[in-house]
Structures are given as structure tokens and as C-alpha cells.
Amino acid sequence: MAQITPGLDFLARKLFIPLILFLAISLVIFLVGFRPTTWQLLVAPFLGITAYISAVISLGRWIERWEAARMGSRLVPQCRRRHSAIDRAIAFFCGRRTYEVPGTMLAQEVVAYNSPIVNVFTIWFNYIVTTCPEHVKIILTTNPENYVKGEGFSRVTRSTLGMGVYTTDGSLWKFHRSVVRPLFLRSRHPTHLELCDRYAQHAMAHLDSITGAGYSIDLLNLFRWSSLNIASEMLLGVCVSNLPCAHEACSDRESSFYPEMDFSTAILRVQEVVSRREELGPLWPLHELLNDKTKEPMHIISQTLDPLILAAMRKKMMRGVGVLYSTDEKAIDASNGKENETLLSQLAELTDESYQIKDVILNVLIPQRDNVALTLSSLVYYLALHPRITSHLRAEILHHLGPIRRPTSDDLRAMKYLRAVINETLRLTPPVPCTIRETVTATTWPSPYPKGKPIYIPAHAKVSYDVYSIHTSKDFWGPDAKQFDPERFLDGRYQEYLSPNPYIFLPFGVGPRACFGQEVAYDEISILTIRLLQAYGSLSIDASAKYPTFRTLETRPLAYGNKNGLGLKLDTS
């Protein structure tokens, strides 16, 4: 069955009323006997559209000034854009990639304007970017109901993530979270650590085979496969992707943009398309006028997930008539007599709609996989740059575990320096460097300046807090804010900076929409780091490696700045 493309749907929704008005005006002109020339017919629509947009913008700004005065506040300072929406649109339509995470380009305007809050005004809407922790607290915990994902974000992600915990608001979001969150609480059971360790050892064996042959390794690529396997087995009960072949993981071999459209690369492709849509703003459907660019990768993803979902639903139906699969018997936990549920099995019990199950799974699987892989790559990068820190961390690991023992939950809690290294990595390279919300109603924020008037925040504005700028601000973290120093989480700087102001450290967010899988992520990052340093004593960046072509969407140091992955040489000494 043929489906309408995003571009055609956009034109049908946006041009219907203008077309009716144009036809009505044309009919009136015809009835009064006026006969315009050809050039007048061509120019008139453009002049009309320009006048309409100018009038709407001017009226909107006047209403905002009036509302701000009525509420005893002032407008957010507006900065002159160095990168306009039109510039970015031209770049995208011409096929040039900016390699930017949605929102990071706008966040750079705050730094350039030298203000803790600015309005990066566009043709489409107010875009307010803040680096003030007090404003972050309002968005995340004080009044989160007024700061939602919004219909615009839902439309961007609907063809990929559908309706799930990551894309919805209100009561629907609360329902999805209530379904998903208990699974991550139960995953603190030791079997989760065993799962992480099993795939960590697979990754180390893969590293041995590659480094033993004299190759350097693209760890970002390898970590992505490993974290995807851990996430898929925890959520689905099966592994959905093999570790990459040696030539795909090695950074001294050229590879195509997407060498194979398997499950893992299909996820990357989906992320790239969504990133482009976010950058283009409300006009993104015009970039997909002839085809939906998520259709092909989502077809690959569906080919993997649909059979698993169907099998889970069939198993539920058969259990309903008294048939017990042999695998059901093996899934019973001997320690408590309960079945080891996966997210898939839970969802199959709750609904008979396969598309709903798929939406929920993708909303959890994609963020978990990507955040862990990016953080691990950044962590190893910093260790390669700082041999002293690497030696300290390895000494702690060998002291607690020796060269081969698998860590327990108690071991992870005891290794304070390991946790500090992970936190410092998350501080300098947060997996989500900029978070965007949309306001529901007009409100005011306190001024970042003493005795300043409150700041007016209009309804339906985009508001964003720049996590990276907050994490690296000298005002919040001291003069060495941009240096990699895990000791800041263990010495007096913790009590001086972070303890009195927890909203300056936001790698997983806070409040009702905080990441419910953050402890799972800490476990996975910890175990992979432990296994890496149990096996290798020396890490160095391979500057001579021929990196693969563009594989990641991130910008800024390493996880954000190295768009080609991480080429590394490893030594067992």
C-alpha cells in the first residue's frame, strides 16, 4: 500500500488554506473584471507570503513585549545568529553535512554572545538557550509539566520511535515509564553483571585477535556492537547483532559510509535522519518530499524485531491454553522461583498490538546503546591522553580484582576512583550535550543577575539547556573546569562546587524524566573498562590510522569532535 511522504503531507496540511484563499481572491478579481499580467500572477504569491510572515512575526513580538510588561518581566536578550536556519537548510538540501547534534550549534550562540541566556530567534519560533543551573532546575524538577517534548519533536521521531517513553508527554509518558522502569530496577540483580561481563569478554577476545595481528582498533565501532548486544539481550532475551568483522572494527582499513545495512547500521542511519530533521526545523518534510528517508533503515529494524515480537505474542497465547515452552522452564530463576522477565515478555502480556511493543522497545534500546558506547569511547580516549590516570585506575582494578576476576556489585561500589573517572568523562563529554523542551504556557524565570527583572518565557517556545557548557564552566567547576581530572569528584572540590549545586552535573538528567537506566549504564561502562585494563596496561592514540568515513553524529571533544571513531593502539605491558 502506497504511503504519502512527509513532504507531500506537509504541503497538503500547510498549503490547503492558502490555496483556498488564493482561489477565492482570484475569483473575486475575475468577477470585478481585473486582468493581471503573467508577471503579476507570479510575483503576487511571493509578496503575499512575505507580507504575511512579516506581519505574524511583528504581531507576535509585540504581544510578547506586552505580556512581559504585564508580568513585570523583560524579554530574553536576542542575539544575532551566526548560523541562520536558512544557511543550515541550504547546506542540508545541497547534501553538505554539518556533523552537529541538534541544538549544539544554537548552544554555541550563548558562548559567543557571552550571556547565560539568549533567544536565538528564528523565523519559525523563539529558541531560548540557557546555561543557568537555576533555570535547569525549573525545567526538570520545579515545573516539568510546563516543559514538554512537544508535537514538533513527536512529528520528527514518529516514523522511527513512534509513541514511547522518549517521545511522549503527559499521561501516556507516565504509562510508558511505569512499564519500563521496573525492569531496570530488577536488572540490578547479579545476572545483569554476568551479562555485561560475558559480552565484555567477547569484546576483549575480539580485541586480542585484532591487536595481535598488528592492527589498531576503532573502539567506538566495537563498543557500539557490544553495548547493542547487552541491551538487546536484556530487553529482548536475544542478541540481535554479531560483533563486527575485523575489517569493520579496524581503523586502518577504509570502509563505506554504511558497509552493510544490518540492525546496528540501520540504527545509525535512523539517528542521522532524525538529526537532520531536527536541524532543519519545521521545514524538514520538504527535505523528504519524494521519500521518507527512515523507510529503508526502519524496514531492516523491523525485519529483526517483528519475528521476536510475534514469537513473544504467540508464546503468551499458547500459555493461555496451558502449553508451556521448554524455554519457559529454563527462564525460571532458581533463587526465587520467578520468571526472568524481559521488556519484550512484559509488553506481550500488556498488549496485543505489535507496533506498540516495537515503539516501547526502540525508545529504550537506541538511547541505552548509544550513550554507553559514546561514554566508553570518550573514557578510553582520555585514558590514552593521561597515562598517569590510567596507571592509577589500573592499579585500583588489579588491587580489588586481580587480572581475571569478574567484579561484583560490592566491588564496583568499592572502586571509588573508577566511578570518578566515569563521572569526569560524563562531565567533559556528556552523551546528550544539549536538551530541548517546548513550553506549554507563558511563564517567567529568575534573572541570572542580582536584582535583575524576571525573564519572560513565551508559550510554545523552544527552551534548551546546554549541558556541555554547564559542565565545563569555570564559574561552576573552578579554574580547571576544562581539564580531565577525576580527583575533583573525590577531593574538596566536590564539596565546594558540586555538593551545594547538583544541577551543574547532568549527564543523565534529573527529576521525573531522568534516565531510569543510569545505574545499568554505570555497570556496563565499569565492567568494560575493568576488562580492558585487566588485559591492557598501555593505551595510545593511533594518529597514523586511516579512519573509516563518517560513522557518528557527534561533535565536540572525542565523542563529539572525532566523527571517524577512535583509532587506538593497545599494549598488554
pLDDT in tens, 326-356: 554 444 443 344 445 778 888 888 888 888 8
Domain count, the chain: 1
pLDDT, residue 246, reads 42
Which residues are registered as beta bridge partners of 119?
78, 128
Instruction: Render 356-385 in DSSP notation, one character per residue.
Output: HHHHHHHHHHHHHHHHHHHHHHHHHHHHHH
Q: Is residue 296 part of a domain?
A: yes
pLDDT, residue 191, reads 76
CB-CB contact of 40 with 47 (8 Å): no
CB-CB contact of 567 with 217 (8 Å): yes
Most confident of 71-85, 241-255, 524-538, 543-557: 524-538
Closest CA to 129 of 112, 111, 115, 117: 117
Q: Is residue 445 part of a domain?
A: no
pLDDT in tens, 392-402: 999 999 999 99
Is residue 554's pLDDT more than 50?
no
Is residue 368's pLDDT more than 60?
yes
Q: Is residue 170 part of a domain?
A: no
| Cα–Cα distance measured from residue 183 to residue 250, given in angstroms and rounded to the nearest whole number | 35
The CATH number given to whatever domain includes residue 391 is: 1.10.630.10
pLDDT, residue 322, reads 61
Residue 419: domain span? 179-440+462-492+505-571
Q: What percent of the chain has pLDDT over 70?
A: 76
Residue 98 buriedness (CB in 10 A; 0-12 / 13-18 / 19+): middle
Nine-digit cell string for 16: 490547503
pLDDT, residue 320, reads 65
Q: Is residue 329 part of a domain?
A: yes
H-run or E-run covering 55: helix 38-70
Look at phi and psi of residue 170 and say left if phi exceeds 0, alpha if psi is from -120 to 50, else beta.
Answer: left
Report the chain's mean pLDDT, rounded to a whole number.
Answer: 78
Q: Is residue 152 part of a domain?
A: no
Q: What is the pTM of this model?
A: 0.83
Distance of CA 383 to the CA centre of its chain: 24
Collapsed DSSP state (helix, strand, coil) of residue 504: helix
pLDDT band at 264 (very low <50, low <70, confident <90, very high): confident
Tell me the residue type at 497.
Y
pLDDT, residue 509, reads 87
515 is in an annotated binding site: yes
Q: Is residue 308 part of a domain?
A: yes
Q: Is residue 35 part of a domain?
A: no
CA atoms within a 13 Å half-sphere pointing along the CA-CB vector of 333: 11
Minimum mean pLDDT range among 223-237, 318-332, 378-392, 463-477? 318-332
pLDDT band at 279 (very low <50, low <70, confident <90, very high): confident
Which residues are registered as beta bridge partners of 510?
none
Closest CA to 153 of 427, 462, 371, 380: 462
pLDDT in tens, 76-99: 888 755 444 444 444 444 444 444
Q: Is residue 558 part of a domain?
A: yes
Torsion over CA: 264, 564, 373, 243 (sign): positive
